[in-house]
Chain A
Amino acid sequence: MTALPPLLQVRDLVVEFRTAQATLRALDGISFAIAPGEILGVVGESGAGKSLTGLAISRLIQPPGQIVSGEVLLAGERIDTLSARAMRRVRGKRIGMVFQDPLTSLDPLFPIGDQIVETIRAHLDMTRIEARARAIELLDEVGIPSPAARINAYPHEFSGGMRQRVVIALALCAEPELIIADEPTTALDVAVQAQILNLLARLCRDRGMAMMLVTHDMGVIAEISHRVAVMYAGRLVELGKTARMAHAARHPYAAGLMGAIPTLEARTEPLLQIPGSMPRLTAIPAGCAFHPRCDKAFAPCTKVRPELLFSAGGLAVACHLYDPTYQEARS
């Protein structure tokens, strides 16, 4: 997977919200890459900047939020400098999006078929009849039973799980190279969630599509993603292989987060607890943003901000514990 050139590359992305009172830095130096066919999970607690990262890549940030610096490359081309018009063609055509609540992505006044046909024709050169046949194929592919009959149904006539399938079909319309899925299963029950996750994993495998899966549920990530990015207070703190992350995360925050998640195994000892809570954007501590809550913090953590230290295979950690410069200071 690492041999292929990355499909999506994000370099040093900074997003700020400029208000009359202050400038808040919501994303601070985010860098990562996703290879074709790869699923990257993005986890973190509320306010860590997971969703904002997805919105920044697809340029859907609302003012006063804005991208201040950094680069976003899709298949080697910069998309963060495109005009709004050109970007609109990239969105939907090359980047598909799936959000948490399927009702916000569907217009309640039109049958789902019309919405899919419209989207297909906006991006691909097809007649109405061809587009309709394609829409039925797509609905079938995402597992809607008897798609030819259901294509004229309105969004409210579907259950939550079926609606999310329609939204996924909508995102697949123009055969995008990248899907940004923001909490796609959070509003669903566990059994339906499993169906939707299997569907997303199968689509990525079969179509060679890359996916950025944003969620706060580590179980969902462990289920289908190849690598995990852990975010804290607007920064990326660790990028690691999913299989390793659950029990051998390197960053103290990532390790604490994993230890705090209850599992299905019987246990008597208490869950791991990280004291305190994530800082507000108005009061990000100096140095490492996590140092006031970190039990491994040492002198440089309070002063110097740790940079992401990349190693082979697209793995990275932003922590002075792993920085050779500070090895002496620690011992």
Chain B
Amino acid sequence: MTEFATETPAYVKVRGLTHHFDLSAGMIDRLLRRTEGRFLRAVDHVSFDIRRGETFALVGESGSGKSTLARIMAGLLPAESGEILIDGHRVSAGGTRPEALRTAIQMVFQDPYASLNPRWRVDRLVAEPIRTLPAPERDRRVDELLRLVGLDPLDKVKYPHQFSGGQRQRIAIARSLAANAPFLVCDEPTSALDVSVQAQILNLMRRLQDQFGLTYLFISHNLAVVRYMATEVGVMYLGRLVEAGPANRIFAAPRHPYTRMLLEAVPGTGLPRAEVKGEVPSPISPPSGCTFHPRCPLAEDICCREVPEFRDGVACHVAHHAAALARAGYPSA
């Protein structure tokens, strides 16, 4: 069984997406001091599929590359290599995109205080993606969008500072829906919000998904939020996808030791846990082989030498042998 063998064809396909940040010194410095170039591999050969109307959630600790991936998907950063296909159309992973594709992918950011221009009124903010429509039609659409996200159409003459954080995130969501974008990239959309407001926004996002068949790429470090939103989950560690699969399977029977560590570390579950070792190493000089091996309770010799390939939804030398995983006490899927 492979994770990608499904009846419905994938709506979003990502293949071998890679992005490096160049942290080298300037060229003259490099020549004079004979230093090597330094690269941070923020996203390293990441591939996954998302089916139409579903939510693919990316989880991982800070520095795992989730947000960089989100920005590449939304076209805010060029990728170095790899390809993105949306509904069968190739989207340039690097460089600029045609207008039609840009409006098909919209992004909801973490901080609604920063993502809305403070000098624009709500009607202008929400109507920005549809500014080419004739004015009466545009106004009608803005009213409709505001009602959809639970705001009063009369609020459209106000400015962002007159709203609370949750209301601002509603405005940002209304804007992302303005041009009927079928695919939303949501980067930590509720991390800046209080729990009661978070519940309102998560419920709203699920309702809109059911209503319009939206497809989400949902980035979050909060596993409980991911559990509530996701149909599929991808786990990232130091730029690589280490495990991916249906949310039910990942939460019930994680196969990668890192996924298991993340799940056990969630506070307040009352589950027994193994003591977590260490912290995420620097992505500039990651450990050899499997980058998780210094923290891994199951690490073997091969893990320090060879990079595990991503096979059957997991990139782990040990997890590739079901028997070895069972010996380590992992539940079977």
| A161 contacts chain B at the CB level, 8 A cutoff | yes
**What are the residues of chain A within 8 A of B228 when measuring CB–CB?**
262, 267, 271
**What are the residues of chain A within 8 A of B200 when measuring CB–CB?**
273
| B26 contacts chain A at the CB level, 8 A cutoff | no
- What total of chain B residues lie within 8 Å of the partner, measured CB to CB? 40
Q: How far is the CB of A275 from chain B (nearest CB, A)?
A: 8
Residue of B166, B197, B225, B262 near A262 (CB, 8 A) is: B225
Whether A219 contacts B224 by the Cβ 8 Å rule is: yes
| B206 contacts chain A at the CB level, 8 A cutoff | yes
- Nearest to A160 among chain B residues (CB) is B279
Scan residues 200-254 of chain B and give those whose CB is less than 8 A from a CB of chain A. Answer: 200, 202-203, 206-207, 221-225, 227-228, 247-248, 251
Whether A264 contacts B262 by the Cβ 8 Å rule is: no
- Nearest to A190 among chain B residues (CB) is B265
Residue of B61, B222, B227 near A191 (CB, 8 A) is: B61
Q: How far is the CB of A78 from chain B (nearest CB, A)?
A: 34
How far is A159 from B200 in the complex, measured between Cα atoms in Å? 35
How far is A272 from B228 in the complex, measured between Cα atoms in Å? 12
Whether B202 contacts A271 by the Cβ 8 Å rule is: yes
| Residue in A189, A256, A274, A278 whose Cβ sees the most chain B Cβ within 10 Å | A189
**What are the residues of chain A within 8 A of B164 when measuring CB–CB?**
277
User: Known: A262-B228, A264-B251, A266-B227. Is A257-B195 also a contact (CB below 8 A)?
Assistant: yes
User: Known: A191-B265, A222-B268, A264-B269. Is A161-B224 also a contact (CB below 8 A)?
Assistant: no
How far is A198 from B62 in the complex, measured between Cα atoms in Å? 21
**What are the residues of chain B within 8 A of A267 when measuring CB–CB?**
227-228
User: Known: A190-B61, A191-B61, A271-B203. Is A277-B265 also a contact (CB below 8 A)?
Assistant: no
- What total of chain A residues lie within 8 Å of the partner, measured CB to CB? 42
Whether B199 contacts A194 by the Cβ 8 Å rule is: no
Whether B262 contacts A260 by the Cβ 8 Å rule is: no
Whether B198 contacts A194 by the Cβ 8 Å rule is: no
- Nearest to A185 among chain B residues (CB) is B267
Scan residues 268-313 of chain A and give those whose CB is less than 8 A from a CB of chain B. Answer: 270-274, 277-278
| A150 contacts chain B at the CB level, 8 A cutoff | no
**What are the residues of chain B within 8 A of A16 when measuring CB–CB?**
none
User: Known: A189-B221, A190-B262, A266-B251. Is A219-B203 also a contact (CB below 8 A)?
Assistant: no
Whether B221 contacts A271 by the Cβ 8 Å rule is: no
**What are the residues of chain B within 8 A of A160 when measuring CB–CB?**
279
Q: How far is the CB of A150 from chain B (nearest CB, A)?
A: 15
**What are the residues of chain A within 8 A of B10 when measuring CB–CB?**
none
Q: How far is the CB of A246 from chain B (nearest CB, A)?
A: 8
| Residue in B200, B202, B221 whose Cβ sees the most chain A Cβ within 10 Å | B200
- Interface digits, B248-264 against A, CB 8 Å rule (1 contact, 0 not)? 10010000000001111
Whether A192 contacts B276 by the Cβ 8 Å rule is: yes
| B29 contacts chain A at the CB level, 8 A cutoff | no
3 nearest CB pairs, A to B: A222-B268, A219-B268, A260-B199
